[in-house]
Structure 1
Protein backbone atom coordinates (compact mmCIF):
# COMPACT_ATOMS: atom_id res chain seq x y z
CA UNK A 1 0.00 0.00 0.00
CA UNK A 2 2.94 2.29 0.59
CA UNK A 3 3.77 2.22 -3.13
CA UNK A 4 0.20 3.24 -3.98
CA UNK A 5 0.30 6.10 -1.44
CA UNK A 6 3.77 7.53 -1.85
CA UNK A 7 3.97 8.45 -5.51
CA UNK A 8 3.36 11.92 -6.82
CA UNK A 9 3.41 13.36 -10.29
CA UNK A 10 6.50 15.38 -9.41
CA UNK A 11 8.29 12.42 -7.84
CA UNK A 12 8.99 11.66 -4.20
CA UNK A 13 6.46 11.17 -1.44
CA UNK A 14 3.26 13.15 -1.49
CA UNK A 15 -0.03 13.08 0.33
CA UNK A 16 -1.37 15.00 -2.70
CA UNK A 17 -0.88 12.13 -5.13
CA UNK A 18 -3.74 10.34 -6.85
CA UNK A 19 -2.71 7.17 -4.97
CA UNK A 20 -2.94 8.91 -1.58
CA UNK A 21 -6.33 10.36 -2.48
CA UNK A 22 -7.53 6.98 -3.78
CA UNK A 23 -6.50 5.15 -0.60
CA UNK A 24 -8.15 7.86 1.53
CA UNK A 25 -11.50 6.81 0.02
CA UNK A 26 -11.22 3.60 2.06
CA UNK A 27 -10.61 5.36 5.40
CA UNK A 28 -14.22 5.21 6.57
CA UNK A 29 -17.01 2.81 7.42
CA UNK A 30 -18.79 3.24 4.09
CA UNK A 31 -16.37 1.43 1.81
CA UNK A 32 -15.49 -2.04 3.00
CA UNK A 33 -12.86 -4.12 1.25
CA UNK A 34 -11.08 -7.00 2.97
CA UNK A 35 -7.73 -8.19 1.66
CA UNK A 36 -6.71 -11.76 2.41
CA UNK A 37 -4.05 -14.15 1.20
CA UNK A 38 -5.07 -16.67 -1.42
CA UNK A 39 -3.24 -19.88 -2.10
CA UNK A 40 -4.12 -19.90 -5.79
CA UNK A 41 -2.09 -18.00 -8.38
CA UNK A 42 -4.85 -15.45 -8.87
CA UNK A 43 -5.78 -12.07 -7.52
CA UNK A 44 -9.43 -11.19 -7.65
CA UNK A 45 -12.18 -9.12 -6.14
CA UNK A 46 -15.47 -10.69 -5.09
CA UNK A 47 -18.20 -8.89 -3.15
CA UNK A 48 -15.90 -6.61 -1.18
CA UNK A 49 -13.10 -9.12 -0.67
CA UNK A 50 -9.74 -9.12 -2.42
CA UNK A 51 -7.92 -12.44 -2.53
CA UNK A 52 -4.20 -12.06 -3.23
CA UNK A 53 -1.61 -14.71 -4.00
CA UNK A 54 1.86 -13.51 -3.12
CA UNK A 55 3.26 -16.00 -5.66
CA UNK A 56 1.33 -14.75 -8.66
CA UNK A 57 3.05 -13.96 -11.90
CA UNK A 58 0.79 -12.12 -14.30
CA UNK A 59 1.94 -10.41 -17.46
CA UNK A 60 -0.03 -7.62 -19.13
CA UNK A 61 0.58 -5.65 -22.31
CA UNK A 62 2.05 -2.22 -21.57
CA UNK A 63 3.09 0.96 -23.30
CA UNK A 64 6.51 -0.64 -23.78
CA UNK A 65 4.72 -2.68 -26.49
CA UNK A 66 5.35 -5.98 -24.73
CA UNK A 67 3.97 -8.16 -21.97
CA UNK A 68 5.48 -7.34 -18.58
CA UNK A 69 5.06 -8.72 -15.07
CA UNK A 70 2.72 -6.75 -12.83
CA UNK A 71 3.90 -5.48 -9.44
CA UNK A 72 1.69 -6.66 -6.60
CA UNK A 73 0.79 -3.12 -5.45
CA UNK A 74 -0.49 -2.30 -8.96
CA UNK A 75 -2.65 -5.43 -9.01
CA UNK A 76 -4.01 -4.49 -5.57
CA UNK A 77 -4.83 -0.96 -6.80
CA UNK A 78 -6.77 -2.51 -9.69
CA UNK A 79 -8.72 -4.75 -7.30
CA UNK A 80 -9.33 -1.86 -4.87
CA UNK A 81 -10.96 0.01 -7.77
CA UNK A 82 -13.37 -2.92 -8.07
CA UNK A 83 -13.96 -2.70 -4.33
CA UNK A 84 -14.76 1.00 -4.62
CA UNK A 85 -17.25 0.47 -7.40
CA UNK A 86 -18.76 -2.55 -5.62
CA UNK A 87 -19.62 -0.27 -2.70
CA UNK A 88 -20.98 2.65 -4.74
CA UNK A 89 -22.02 1.71 -8.27
CA UNK A 90 -25.20 -0.05 -9.37
CA UNK A 91 -24.54 -3.77 -9.95
CA UNK A 92 -26.12 -3.65 -13.41
CA UNK A 93 -23.66 -0.91 -14.39
CA UNK A 94 -20.68 -2.79 -12.95
CA UNK A 95 -21.60 -6.02 -14.74
CA UNK A 96 -22.42 -4.42 -18.10
CA UNK A 97 -20.32 -6.11 -20.80
CA UNK A 98 -17.94 -3.84 -22.61
CA UNK A 99 -16.44 -6.59 -24.74
CA UNK A 100 -17.72 -10.12 -25.43
CA UNK A 101 -15.18 -12.47 -26.98
CA UNK A 102 -14.49 -16.15 -27.50
CA UNK A 103 -11.79 -16.02 -24.81
CA UNK A 104 -13.83 -14.19 -22.20
CA UNK A 105 -15.80 -11.08 -21.45
CA UNK A 106 -14.70 -7.74 -20.08
CA UNK A 107 -17.11 -5.59 -18.13
CA UNK A 108 -17.11 -1.81 -17.90
CA UNK A 109 -15.88 -2.29 -14.34
CA UNK A 110 -12.70 -3.89 -15.70
CA UNK A 111 -12.12 -0.83 -17.85
CA UNK A 112 -12.61 1.44 -14.82
CA UNK A 113 -10.24 -0.66 -12.68
CA UNK A 114 -7.62 -0.63 -15.44
CA UNK A 115 -7.82 3.17 -15.65
CA UNK A 116 -7.28 3.45 -11.88
CA UNK A 117 -4.43 0.95 -12.18
CA UNK A 118 -2.87 3.19 -14.84
CA UNK A 119 -3.07 6.29 -12.63
CA UNK A 120 -1.02 4.37 -10.06
CA UNK A 121 1.34 3.09 -12.75
CA UNK A 122 1.84 6.64 -14.02
CA UNK A 123 2.64 8.01 -10.58
CA UNK A 124 5.17 5.23 -10.09
CA UNK A 125 6.72 5.85 -13.52
CA UNK A 126 5.74 2.32 -14.58
CA UNK A 127 4.62 1.64 -18.16
CA UNK A 128 0.84 1.83 -18.44
CA UNK A 129 -1.43 -1.04 -19.42
CA UNK A 130 -2.78 -0.35 -22.90
CA UNK A 131 -5.11 -3.36 -23.38
CA UNK A 132 -7.40 -5.31 -21.09
CA UNK A 133 -6.76 -8.84 -22.31
CA UNK A 134 -3.46 -10.50 -21.58
CA UNK A 135 -0.94 -13.00 -22.95
CA UNK A 136 -3.36 -15.71 -24.04
CA UNK A 137 -4.61 -13.31 -26.73
CA UNK A 138 -1.21 -12.39 -28.18
CA UNK A 139 -0.69 -15.67 -29.98
CA UNK A 140 -4.12 -16.86 -31.04
CA UNK A 141 -6.54 -13.96 -31.43
CA UNK A 142 -4.86 -10.65 -32.27
CA UNK A 143 -8.13 -8.99 -33.32
CA UNK A 144 -9.63 -9.56 -29.85
CA UNK A 145 -6.45 -8.25 -28.30
CA UNK A 146 -6.81 -5.06 -30.33
CA UNK A 147 -10.53 -4.74 -29.51
CA UNK A 148 -9.54 -4.71 -25.83
CA UNK A 149 -7.44 -1.54 -26.28
CA UNK A 150 -8.05 1.05 -23.55
CA UNK A 151 -5.30 3.55 -24.41
CA UNK A 152 -4.01 4.88 -27.74
CA UNK A 153 -0.63 6.49 -28.25
CA UNK A 154 -0.71 9.90 -29.90
CA UNK A 155 1.82 9.55 -32.74
CA UNK A 156 2.77 13.23 -32.55
CA UNK A 157 3.34 13.54 -28.80
CA UNK A 158 3.94 9.95 -27.70
CA UNK A 159 1.40 10.49 -24.92
CA UNK A 160 -1.18 7.85 -24.15
CA UNK A 161 -4.85 8.82 -24.13
CA UNK A 162 -7.98 6.88 -23.29
CA UNK A 163 -9.91 5.49 -26.22
CA UNK A 164 -13.31 7.13 -26.67
CA UNK A 165 -15.24 4.12 -25.25
CA UNK A 166 -12.90 3.92 -22.23
CA UNK A 167 -13.18 7.68 -21.62
CA UNK A 168 -16.98 7.43 -21.70
CA UNK A 169 -16.91 4.61 -19.14
CA UNK A 170 -14.55 6.56 -16.89
CA UNK A 171 -16.64 9.73 -17.08
CA UNK A 172 -19.83 7.78 -16.28
CA UNK A 173 -18.16 6.24 -13.23
CA UNK A 174 -16.85 9.62 -12.04
CA UNK A 175 -20.34 11.09 -12.41
CA UNK A 176 -21.84 8.19 -10.43
CA UNK A 177 -19.27 8.65 -7.65
CA UNK A 178 -19.86 12.41 -7.55
CA UNK A 179 -23.62 11.76 -7.27
CA UNK A 180 -22.79 9.67 -4.16
CA UNK A 181 -20.79 12.54 -2.61
CA UNK A 182 -17.26 11.56 -3.64
CA UNK A 183 -15.32 14.54 -4.95
CA UNK A 184 -13.33 12.92 -7.74
CA UNK A 185 -9.84 14.08 -8.67
CA UNK A 186 -7.72 13.27 -11.73
Structure 2
Protein backbone atom coordinates (compact mmCIF):
# COMPACT_ATOMS: atom_id res chain seq x y z
CA UNK A 1 0.00 0.00 0.00
CA UNK A 2 1.12 3.50 -0.62
CA UNK A 3 1.50 5.84 2.33
CA UNK A 4 -1.58 7.91 1.51
CA UNK A 5 -3.74 4.78 1.23
CA UNK A 6 -2.48 3.51 4.59
CA UNK A 7 -3.15 6.83 6.25
CA UNK A 8 -6.57 7.00 4.64
CA UNK A 9 -7.33 3.46 5.84
CA UNK A 10 -6.23 4.44 9.34
CA UNK A 11 -8.43 7.52 9.25
CA UNK A 12 -11.34 5.38 8.07
CA UNK A 13 -10.90 2.97 10.99
CA UNK A 14 -10.79 5.88 13.44
CA UNK A 15 -13.91 7.32 11.79
CA UNK A 16 -15.74 3.99 12.10
CA UNK A 17 -14.80 3.75 15.76
CA UNK A 18 -15.98 7.31 16.38
CA UNK A 19 -19.28 6.66 14.61
CA UNK A 20 -19.70 3.45 16.58
CA UNK A 21 -19.42 5.30 19.85
CA UNK A 22 -22.08 7.82 18.78
CA UNK A 23 -24.51 5.51 16.94
CA UNK A 24 -28.19 5.50 17.67
CA UNK A 25 -30.26 2.33 17.92
CA UNK A 26 -31.53 2.54 14.36
CA UNK A 27 -28.33 3.58 12.59
CA UNK A 28 -28.16 0.45 10.46
CA UNK A 29 -31.50 0.93 8.74
CA UNK A 30 -32.09 4.61 9.30
CA UNK A 31 -35.67 3.98 10.45
CA UNK A 32 -37.56 2.25 13.22
CA UNK A 33 -39.14 -0.48 11.08
CA UNK A 34 -38.04 -4.00 11.79
CA UNK A 35 -37.43 -6.68 9.23
CA UNK A 36 -39.79 -9.51 10.12
CA UNK A 37 -37.90 -12.04 7.99
CA UNK A 38 -34.66 -11.46 9.85
CA UNK A 39 -34.57 -13.45 13.08
CA UNK A 40 -31.33 -11.98 14.39
CA UNK A 41 -30.73 -8.26 14.38
CA UNK A 42 -27.28 -7.05 13.36
CA UNK A 43 -25.35 -5.36 16.16
CA UNK A 44 -24.86 -1.60 16.13
CA UNK A 45 -21.11 -1.98 15.72
CA UNK A 46 -20.11 -2.12 12.07
CA UNK A 47 -18.52 -5.44 11.02
CA UNK A 48 -15.33 -3.66 9.97
CA UNK A 49 -14.98 -1.97 13.36
CA UNK A 50 -15.73 -5.23 15.17
CA UNK A 51 -13.07 -7.00 13.10
CA UNK A 52 -10.52 -4.27 13.70
CA UNK A 53 -11.18 -4.47 17.44
CA UNK A 54 -10.95 -8.27 17.36
CA UNK A 55 -14.42 -8.64 18.84
CA UNK A 56 -15.34 -12.14 17.70
CA UNK A 57 -18.65 -12.04 19.59
CA UNK A 58 -19.90 -9.07 17.56
CA UNK A 59 -18.56 -10.58 14.33
CA UNK A 60 -20.47 -13.77 15.13
CA UNK A 61 -23.61 -11.69 15.69
CA UNK A 62 -23.10 -10.17 12.23
CA UNK A 63 -22.70 -13.66 10.78
CA UNK A 64 -25.93 -14.81 12.46
CA UNK A 65 -27.75 -11.69 11.22
CA UNK A 66 -26.68 -12.27 7.63
CA UNK A 67 -24.46 -9.21 7.33
CA UNK A 68 -22.47 -9.05 4.09
CA UNK A 69 -19.16 -10.62 5.12
CA UNK A 70 -17.56 -9.45 1.88
CA UNK A 71 -18.28 -5.76 2.19
CA UNK A 72 -15.27 -3.63 1.44
CA UNK A 73 -14.23 -0.59 3.43
CA UNK A 74 -14.17 2.39 1.05
CA UNK A 75 -10.58 3.56 1.48
CA UNK A 76 -8.40 0.51 0.85
CA UNK A 77 -11.03 -1.94 -0.29
CA UNK A 78 -10.31 -4.42 2.48
CA UNK A 79 -12.93 -6.95 3.48
CA UNK A 80 -13.34 -7.83 7.16
CA UNK A 81 -11.30 -10.98 6.49
CA UNK A 82 -8.40 -9.02 4.98
CA UNK A 83 -8.47 -6.63 7.94
CA UNK A 84 -8.42 -9.59 10.36
CA UNK A 85 -5.37 -10.96 8.53
CA UNK A 86 -3.56 -7.63 8.61
CA UNK A 87 -4.08 -7.05 12.33
CA UNK A 88 -3.63 -10.70 13.33
CA UNK A 89 -7.18 -11.22 14.62
CA UNK A 90 -7.02 -15.01 14.27
CA UNK A 91 -10.31 -15.85 16.01
CA UNK A 92 -12.19 -13.33 13.92
CA UNK A 93 -10.52 -14.54 10.70
CA UNK A 94 -11.42 -18.14 11.49
CA UNK A 95 -15.04 -17.20 12.23
CA UNK A 96 -15.29 -15.34 8.91
CA UNK A 97 -13.64 -18.19 7.00
CA UNK A 98 -15.93 -20.78 8.58
CA UNK A 99 -18.97 -18.59 7.85
CA UNK A 100 -18.19 -18.57 4.12
CA UNK A 101 -16.53 -15.20 3.55
CA UNK A 102 -15.10 -14.98 0.03
CA UNK A 103 -11.45 -15.96 0.45
CA UNK A 104 -10.35 -14.65 -2.92
CA UNK A 105 -11.63 -11.08 -2.94
CA UNK A 106 -8.93 -8.50 -3.53
CA UNK A 107 -8.37 -5.16 -1.84
CA UNK A 108 -7.42 -2.08 -3.88
CA UNK A 109 -3.80 -3.29 -4.09
CA UNK A 110 -4.93 -6.62 -5.51
CA UNK A 111 -4.06 -8.54 -2.35
CA UNK A 112 -6.31 -11.31 -1.07
CA UNK A 113 -6.62 -12.46 2.52
CA UNK A 114 -3.99 -15.12 1.75
CA UNK A 115 -1.51 -12.50 0.50
CA UNK A 116 -1.97 -10.45 3.65
CA UNK A 117 -1.91 -13.40 6.07
CA UNK A 118 1.19 -14.84 4.39
CA UNK A 119 3.08 -11.54 4.24
CA UNK A 120 2.42 -10.77 7.90
CA UNK A 121 3.18 -14.39 8.84
CA UNK A 122 -0.21 -15.14 10.37
CA UNK A 123 0.48 -18.87 10.20
CA UNK A 124 -2.78 -20.10 11.74
CA UNK A 125 -4.81 -17.91 9.39
CA UNK A 126 -2.76 -19.09 6.40
CA UNK A 127 -3.52 -22.70 7.39
CA UNK A 128 -7.23 -21.97 7.74
CA UNK A 129 -7.35 -20.22 4.36
CA UNK A 130 -5.54 -23.09 2.64
CA UNK A 131 -7.80 -25.65 4.31
CA UNK A 132 -10.88 -23.85 2.95
CA UNK A 133 -9.43 -23.67 -0.57
CA UNK A 134 -8.08 -20.13 -0.94
CA UNK A 135 -6.71 -19.66 -4.47
CA UNK A 136 -2.92 -19.54 -4.21
CA UNK A 137 -2.42 -18.63 -7.86
CA UNK A 138 -3.94 -15.13 -7.57
CA UNK A 139 -1.45 -12.34 -8.16
CA UNK A 140 -1.68 -8.93 -6.54
CA UNK A 141 -1.13 -5.64 -8.40
CA UNK A 142 2.63 -6.09 -7.96
CA UNK A 143 2.39 -9.40 -9.83
CA UNK A 144 3.10 -11.59 -6.80
CA UNK A 145 1.29 -14.62 -5.45
CA UNK A 146 1.04 -15.16 -1.69
CA UNK A 147 4.03 -17.50 -1.90
CA UNK A 148 6.08 -14.96 -3.82
CA UNK A 149 5.26 -12.31 -1.21
CA UNK A 150 7.15 -14.33 1.44
CA UNK A 151 9.90 -15.84 -0.70
CA UNK A 152 12.42 -12.99 -0.67
CA UNK A 153 14.99 -12.86 2.13
CA UNK A 154 13.77 -10.87 5.12
CA UNK A 155 16.60 -8.34 4.86
CA UNK A 156 15.31 -7.28 1.44
CA UNK A 157 11.78 -6.58 2.67
CA UNK A 158 12.39 -5.40 6.23
CA UNK A 159 11.82 -1.81 5.13
CA UNK A 160 8.28 -2.70 4.01
CA UNK A 161 7.50 -4.13 7.44
CA UNK A 162 9.00 -1.05 9.09
CA UNK A 163 6.79 1.14 6.93
CA UNK A 164 3.64 -0.76 7.90
CA UNK A 165 4.65 -0.77 11.56
CA UNK A 166 5.19 3.00 11.49
CA UNK A 167 2.02 3.86 9.57
CA UNK A 168 -0.36 1.41 11.23
CA UNK A 169 1.30 1.26 14.65
CA UNK A 170 -1.01 3.99 15.97
CA UNK A 171 -3.92 1.74 15.02
CA UNK A 172 -2.53 -1.20 16.94
CA UNK A 173 -0.36 -3.03 14.41
CA UNK A 174 2.62 -4.39 16.32
CA UNK A 175 5.14 -6.29 14.24
CA UNK A 176 7.79 -8.46 15.84
CA UNK A 177 10.60 -8.47 13.26
CA UNK A 178 12.38 -11.45 14.82
CA UNK A 179 9.19 -13.51 14.66
CA UNK A 180 8.52 -12.45 11.08
CA UNK A 181 12.09 -13.18 9.96
CA UNK A 182 11.89 -16.65 11.51
CA UNK A 183 8.37 -17.38 10.28
CA UNK A 184 8.59 -16.16 6.65
CA UNK A 185 10.41 -19.33 5.47
CA UNK A 186 7.92 -21.49 7.39
CA UNK A 187 4.96 -19.76 5.74
CA UNK A 188 6.65 -20.06 2.33
CA UNK A 189 7.17 -23.78 2.90
CA UNK A 190 3.57 -24.20 4.00
CA UNK A 191 2.39 -22.54 0.79
CA UNK A 192 4.81 -24.55 -1.36
CA UNK A 193 3.57 -27.81 0.13
CA UNK A 194 -0.07 -26.94 -0.52
CA UNK A 195 0.21 -25.72 -4.10
Please report the TM-score for the alignment, with normalisation by the length of structure 2: 0.28
* Larger gyration radius, structure 1 or structure 2: 2
More strand by share: 1
Please report the TM-score for the alignment, with normalisation by the length of structure 1: 0.29
More helix by share: 2
